[in-house]
């Protein structure tokens, strides 16, 4: 067994740590206050190849694999969860679905722009009547001649208002429904009939715009079918499986930031004549945080290694998202408690971290859905098949 | 213009702590990074080469694995070549030895029009290699350059801007030359993620040689300086707090300033 990172992954982390601490951290509060993504830093990140970290260099990616991508998400989320959410939706689910199942021609057409950050991607699955029950989607795609026409609505789509390309799951055969009758399309957002709604007002991730997407007879050429007609649901579920690993890595970064802030504060703050680090109840919180973080780190990077070495990883990926989001929520909640009144101050970053972390338990499959995924994998191992 | 930049890796200040009472350094993690001023020298070299047609940058480092890491970083940032004089013992070697190694390495690199290096080193800070190398080669030396660029008027010369108290001074020198670069004089570029991955995937990214391959024998590598130990001065105590009414405090302050 070898738990060390390869020299190139260590070098990648060094660069990311420097970039995030020096360039991204100073802008994180502003991004949250204004609710505006920082276009300048996104452009810079594109130039540094951060929009295509896991993908092969053949398509303009960095070729750093799932491990490299997890390092990116961990470092981003440590300082600016809003920016991490933008990149997570862009790479982890939008570009990833194209990378996994797109034809070489479609990949050549769109991946280089996605990897360079010249085009921002979004992943359109959720609809007003299809949340956890993703198979209940209704957005219709009808074939007329050499193009499909899309009609319907998507909801809660990260990057919706800023996306250039949206991967959309639509029903192509209502008789079959999602299982066998749904198809993924790459939609250019400047196409007539497409519009994005106003950003939702969320408790956290203010700098990561999420919105409704409206499709009013949007024409999509046949060549923009991603993967096979009818098998789109499989593509999207596969994509979400992988996405859970990097989401776990992001939550790891959030939890680590909470612990680091706490360690600084317990040393600096004195009450009853001594630093609060001397109080056992504080020490126990620190010990619990550090222990959970260490467990999460092992799980996340081992699962990333499973992905990079083509081993089965679906059960572990669900665990990454489940353990990660709950660990991050617990850690930032303890950090808030440790900071006392400063913890709830809007002038300080703990409150922002607390708001940002909670969303991790909801999106990309609620934690209830993760438990279902993990249980169904477990039961399948003993020959029992379940349906949610 | 062929530019050679000398790099030195050192222990990351975040990876150890100094216990003055125990007079000891405690290393928590085996973490190294590029000496900050060398990082600025590398950026200056890349910018200068980028601005001149046919400019090239070769990075040079001697020592163990951390030196190799520094060179990968240089390749990822855009240095066209990297030469690693690989020898664990060279890490703490003194200025005289390093100068000899660099002279031989320059020959291996096919000479240089300009050698850049950091003006100071975080750990030892003896600032010897620059002037020693210049003296040994018979080249001019400028210390702590803030900006370097091709001299605007005269061909084949270099303009170096130095930060002076209250202003800047520009000097012009002929080439070849050695110029040390002031820390924080520029903002080093970040290597892109693809270029990091490419540098490590390239088996020829670094030219690795031993001191022996450069024609240096044990005698040439023998340190001139003996290291006897380390000593840490006590922590500076905090300033004094003046108490009393405003008038008292002002009077006390004035009395102290007069002393
Ligand atoms: C900030 C943000 C960004 C998002 N970004 C995207 C995006 O980019 N693309 C996209 O397609 N979607 C996105 N979503 C949508 C997200 O994936 C859904 O919100 C999520 O899947 C849950 O769906 P829902 O909100 O409709 O909740 P519901 O499905 O209505 O669930 C309500 C509650 O019921 C529980 N529940 C539902 N079914 C079961 C079951 N079978 N067993 C047990 N409990 C169950 C849930 O766990 C939850 O607690 C985003 C959401 C948010 C908040």
Pick from A17, A52, A37: which is nearest to A85 by CA?
A: A37
CA A216 to chain centre: 28
Handedness of CA A240, A245, A249, A252 (dihedral sign): positive
| Residues A11, B194: C-beta atoms closer than 8 Å | no
| Residues B190, A15: C-beta atoms closer than 8 Å | yes
| Residues B196, A53: C-beta atoms closer than 8 Å | no
Q: Are A72 and A120 in contact (CB under 8 A)?
A: no
pLDDT the model gives residue A10: 95
3-state secondary structure of A208: coil
d(CA B83, CA B225): 26
Q: Which residues pair with A64 in a beta bridge?
A: none
d(CA A325, CA A328): 5
Total number of residues shown for chain B: 259
Distance A79 CA to ligand 1 centre (A): 25
Summarised one tens digit per residue, pLDDT across range B177-200 is: 999 999 999 999 999 999 999 999
Distance A106 CA to ligand 1 centre (A): 29
Give Rg (Cα) of chain A: 21
pLDDT the model gives residue A366: 97
Closest residue to atom 12 of ligand 1, CA basis: A126
Write the residue in B191, B200, B201 that is nearest to A15 by C-beta.
Answer: B191
Q: Does the pLDDT of residue A298 top 80, yes or no?
A: yes
CB contacts under 8 A, A 48-77 vs B, are 48-50, 52-53, 57, 61-64, 68, 72
Q: Which residues of A8-33 are buried (b: 16+ CB within 10 A; e: fewer)?
A: bbebbbbbbeebbeebbeebbbebbe
Helix (H) or strand (E) holding B195: helix B193-201
Mean predicted confidence (pLDDT) in A274-294: 97
A364, A368, A377, A381: the active-site residue: A364
Summarised one tens digit per residue, pLDDT across range B194-217 is: 999 999 999 999 999 999 999 999
pLDDT the model gives residue B123: 81
Summarised one tens digit per residue, pLDDT across range A5-58 is: 999 999 999 999 999 999 999 999 999 999 999 999 999 999 999 999 999 999
Total number of residues shown for chain A: 388
Domain boundaries, chain A: 7-119, 122-231, 234-381
Contacts of residue A367, Cβ cutoff 8 Å, sequence gap at least 6: A321, A322, A325, A326, A361
Q: Are B239 and A47 in contact (CB under 8 A)?
A: no
Q: Quick check: is A347 catalytic?
A: no
Mean predicted confidence (pLDDT) in A217-244: 97
First to last CA, chain B: 56
Q: Output DSSP code: residue A92.
A: I
Pick from A319, A336, A317, A315: which is nearest to A255 by CA?
A: A336
What does each C-alpha distance from A287 to A256, A259, A281 come to in angstroms?
13, 10, 10
* Three-state secondary structure readout of A119-181: CCEEEECCECCECCCHHHCCCEEEEECCEEEEEEEEEEEECHHHCCEEEEEEECCCCCCHHHH
* Residues of chain A positioned with their CB less than 8 A from the CB of B33: 14
| Residues B194, A49: C-beta atoms closer than 8 Å | yes
CA geometry: angle A355, A365, A124, nearest 5 deg? 95
Summarised one tens digit per residue, pLDDT across range B112-149 is: 999 999 999 888 777 899 999 999 999 999 999 999 99
CA B194 to chain centre: 26
Report domain A7-119's class. Answer: mainly alpha
Helix (H) or strand (E) holding B102: helix B95-108
Binning pLDDT at 50, 70 and 90, where does residue A255 land?
very high
Write the residue in B72, B73, B190 that is nearest to A48 by C-beta.
Answer: B190
pLDDT the model gives residue B109: 95
The pTM of the full predicted model, rounded to 2 decimals, is 0.93
Q: Does the pLDDT of residue B100 top 70, yes or no?
A: yes
pLDDT the model gives residue B92: 67
Tell me the ipTM for this assembly.
0.93
3-state secondary structure of A257: helix
H-type alpha helices, chain A: 7-19, 25-34, 39-47, 65-79, 81-87, 96-101, 104-115, 178-181, 232-268, 280-308, 314-338, 341-344, 349-358, 367-381
Closest residue to atom 25 of ligand 1, CA basis: A131
Q: Does the pLDDT of residue B231 top 90, yes or no?
A: no
Q: Does the pLDDT of residue B91 top 90, yes or no?
A: no
pLDDT the model gives residue B127: 84
Helix (H) or strand (E) holding B72: helix B65-77
The percentage of residues in chain A with a pLDDT greater than 70, rounded to a whole number, is 99
Binning pLDDT at 50, 70 and 90, where does residue A388 land?
low
Pick from B50, B38, B40, B39: which is nearest to B1 by CA?
A: B50
Binning pLDDT at 50, 70 and 90, where does residue A150 land?
very high
Summarised one tens digit per residue, pLDDT across range A308-337 is: 999 999 999 999 999 999 999 999 999 999
Q: Are B206 and B84 in contact (CB under 8 A)?
A: yes
Fold of A234-381: Butyryl-CoA Dehydrogenase, subunit A; domain 3 (1.20.140)
For A122-231, CATH number?
2.40.110.10
Mean pLDDT, chain B, whole residue set: 92
d(CA B135, CA B103): 11
Mean predicted confidence (pLDDT) in B36-65: 94
Binning pLDDT at 50, 70 and 90, where does residue A350 land?
very high
Q: Does the pLDDT of residue A89 top 70, yes or no?
A: yes
Give the residue from chain A lying closest to B75, CA to CA: A11
Which of B12, B70, B194, B203 best probes binding to A when mutated, by most A CB atoms within 10 angstroms?
B194
CA B149 to chain centre: 19
Mean predicted confidence (pLDDT) in A119-133: 97
| Residues A64, B193: C-beta atoms closer than 8 Å | yes
Q: Which two tokens stand for residue B1?
A: 């213009």
Q: Backbone phi, then psi, for B170, in 5-degree steps?
A: -105, 130
Mean pLDDT, chain A, whole residue set: 97
* Residues of chain B positioned with their CB less than 8 A from the CB of A50: 193
- Domain spanning B2-257: which superfamily? HUPs (3.40.50.620)
Mean predicted confidence (pLDDT) in A345-374: 95
């Amino acid at each position: 067994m070898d738990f060390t990172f390869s020299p190139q992954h260590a070098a990648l982390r060094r660069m990311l740590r420097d970039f995030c601490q020096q360039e991204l951290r100073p802008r994180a509060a502003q991004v949250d206050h204004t609710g505006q993504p920082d276009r300048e830093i996104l452009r810079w990140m594109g130039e540094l190849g951060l929009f295509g970290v896991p993908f092969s260099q053949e398509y303009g990616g960095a070729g750093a694999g799932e491990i490299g991508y997890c390092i990116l998400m961990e470092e981003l989320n440590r300082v600016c969860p809003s920016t991490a959410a933008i990149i997570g939706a862009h790479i982890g689910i939008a570009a990833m679905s194209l990378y996994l199942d797109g034809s070489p021609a479609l990949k050549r057409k769109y991946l280089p722009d996605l990897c360079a950050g010249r085009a921002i991607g979004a992943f359109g699955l959720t609809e007003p009547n299809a949340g956890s029950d993703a198979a209940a989607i209704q957005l219709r795609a009808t074939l007329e001649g050499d193009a499909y026409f899309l009609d319907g609505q998507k909801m809660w789509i990260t990057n919706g208002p800023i996306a250039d390309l949206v991967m959309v799951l639509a029903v192509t055969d209502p008789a079959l429904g999602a299982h066998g009758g749904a198809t993924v399309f790459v939609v250019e957002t400047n196409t007539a009939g497409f519009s994005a709604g106003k950003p939702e007002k969320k408790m956290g991730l203010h700098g990561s715009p999420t919105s409704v997407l409206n499709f009013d007879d949007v024409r999509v050429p046949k060549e923009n079918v991603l993967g096979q007609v009818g098998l789109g649901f499989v593509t999207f579920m596969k994509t979400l499986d992988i996405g859970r690993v990097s989401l776990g890595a992001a939550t790891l970064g959030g939890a680590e930031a909470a612990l680091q802030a706490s360690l600084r504060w317990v040393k600096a703050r004195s009450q009853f004549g001594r630093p609060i680090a001397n109080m056992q109840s504080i020490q126990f919180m620190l010990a619990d945080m550090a222990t959970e973080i260490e467990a999460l780190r092992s799980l996340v990077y081992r699962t990333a290694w499973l992905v990079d070495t083509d081993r089965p990883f679906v059960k572990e990926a669900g665990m990454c998202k489940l353990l990660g989001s709950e660990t991050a929520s617990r850690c930032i909640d303890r950090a808030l408690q440790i900071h006392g009144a400063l913890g709830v101050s809007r002038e300080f970053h703990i409150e922002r971290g607390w708001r940002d972390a909670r969303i991790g338990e909801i999106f990309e499959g609620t934690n209830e859905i993760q438990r279902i995924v993990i249980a169904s994998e477990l039961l399948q191992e003993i020959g029992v098949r379940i349906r949610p | 213009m062929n530019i050679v930049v000398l790099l030195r890796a050192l222990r990351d200040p975040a990876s150890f702590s100094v216990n003055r009472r125990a007079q000891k350094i405690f290393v928590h993690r085996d973490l190294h990074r590029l000496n900050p001023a060398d990082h600025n020298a590398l950026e200056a070299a890349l910018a200068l080469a980028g601005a001149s047609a046919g400019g090239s940058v070769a990075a040079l480092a001697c020592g163990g694995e951390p030196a190799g890491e520094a060179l990968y970083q240089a390749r990822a940032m855009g240095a066209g070549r990297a030469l690693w004089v690989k020898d664990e013992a060279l890490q703490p070697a003194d200025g005289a030895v390093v100068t000899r190694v660099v002279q031989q390495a320059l020959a291996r690199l096919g000479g240089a029009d300009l050698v850049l290096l950091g003006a100071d080193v975080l750990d030892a800070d003896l600032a010897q290699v620059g002037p020693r190398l210049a003296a040994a080669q018979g080249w001019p030396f400028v210390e702590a350059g803030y900006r370097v660029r091709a001299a605007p008027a005269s061909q084949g010369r270099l303009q170096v801007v130095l930060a002076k108290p209250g202003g800047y001074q520009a000097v012009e020198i002929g080439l070849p030359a050695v110029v040390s670069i002031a820390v924080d004089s520029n903002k080093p570029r970040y290597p892109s993620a693809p270029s990091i991955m490419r540098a490590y995937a390239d088996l020829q990214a670094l030219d690795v040689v031993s001191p022996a391959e450069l024609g240096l024998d044990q005698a040439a590598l023998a340190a001139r300086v003996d290291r006897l130990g380390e000593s840490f001065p006590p922590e500076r105590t905090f300033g004094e707090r003046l108490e009393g009414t405003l008038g008292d405090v002002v009077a006390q302050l004035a009395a102290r300033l007069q002393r």
